[in-house]
Structure 1
């Protein structure tokens, strides 16, 4: 198993968000997490991605108990092993598409030329190589989201975590993005965990996890 989340609890004040959630994911799986707003989906995704810590429970990624690491080690682990795709892209407006894609590689201390070559290769695979020199404001929503997927993949992560990745896209671009995830899985054996309200994406995923009131059912 690439991911083992064991008995995860999380509260904010007196509000219980996660009430003992366990999830396992295999390499190359595309898993959707669905449920009503407030079910705990994004909180679970953020904890799996080490952006937040559980009150109780463990997260193992490729056998590494991630919350046994200190802050510096955890930051390095996150940068190397986890890619993120968010609903609102989170591209830095002052940088070009290529520069945005390469930032995690630069942070990892990789060779600049190698990172930029890899960035161009990913933009090409994702169909937005012609936008490499453009800033986000000059790109469509669909193009920005493809750039954000390329950024998530730049360090060849163990897991790609996507939080409502098509929530801001029209139906045509959403369908294209969903197909892209499957193409990347087939080409690169990439593993995706996707929080989504999109029923079409959930239906075509390898597995769908249903959440309600902080529990999987």
Structure 2
């Protein structure tokens, strides 16, 4: 499903990823843990095609048997929109739009049919217990509700991979627990692969597999 081999990354003179290898199966929920500065978020950004490994190294990176090494930036953008969903710690919802509109944005970017997109967005929000909040803007929602809107947005294009960077880091303990349980319900219903960067040990222990990063490598 996801294969990375010999992944290197530098920021200036600082080497952040040091020949990292990774293999994740379809439908797995995998946690990536480790101390701050270990390279977890950098790895997630590379897997999400938001950044690229050091091209001078002979690396491999593929998702769904599609090699991402030599495709153009336009093709990479289209791949990202169709195959990858993102969940961030601070939601990143657009404040001027309603919950429904926020969820629809990735589909609109992908030029999906407006009517079909809104139907799917409403179905996702209903599944996430937010059918009564679709016309509310982010400042009218609780932190947990905002994060569930962000989850629906990540799912709108039916991506094969969901990448989450500290998804519960800004939530109270009850909302975090609910979000963690939600990931498993989503995997069972929609079959996505989840990769979660987290400092939350409870979430990490719930996942199918926990990968520990130290000093730019998985140990």
Answer whether TM exceeds 0.5 for this pair.
Answer: yes
What SS does the aligned partner of 2:50 have?
Answer: coil
Q: Is it true that 1:209 corresponds to 2:211 in the alignment? A: yes
1:151 paired with 2:153, answer yes
Query: 2:37 corresponds to which residue?
Result: 38
Q: Distance in 1 between matches of 2:69 and 2:63?
A: 10
CA contact (8 A) 1:67 1:74 kept: no
Q: Output the aligned Cα RMSD.
A: 0.7
Q: How far 1:59 moved relative to its partner? A: 1.3
- Residue 168 of structure 1 pairs with residue 180 of structure 2: no
Aligned equivalent of 2:5: 6
Deviating beyond 3 angstroms after TM superposition, the runs of 4 or more aligned structure 1 residues are none
Q: 1:87 aligns with which of 89, 109, 114?
A: 89
Unaligned runs of 5+ in 2: none
- Tell me if the contact between 1:202 and 1:208 (Cα under 8 Å) persists in the aligned partners: yes
Give, in whole Å, the separation in 1 of the partners of 2:68 and 2:117: 26
Q: How far did 1:188 drift?
A: 1.0
Distance 1:103 1:66 in 2: 24
8 A Cα contact 1:9 1:19, kept in partner: yes
Q: Equivalents in 2 of 1:88, 1:52: separation in Å?
A: 20
Q: How many residues align?
A: 216
After TM superposition, the score normalised by the length of structure 2 is 0.97
Unaligned runs of 5+ in 1: none
Q: State the 1:67 CA deviation.
A: 2.9
1:112 corresponds to: 114
Scaled by the length of structure 1, the TM-score of the pair is 0.98
Q: How much does 1:6 deviate?
A: 1.1
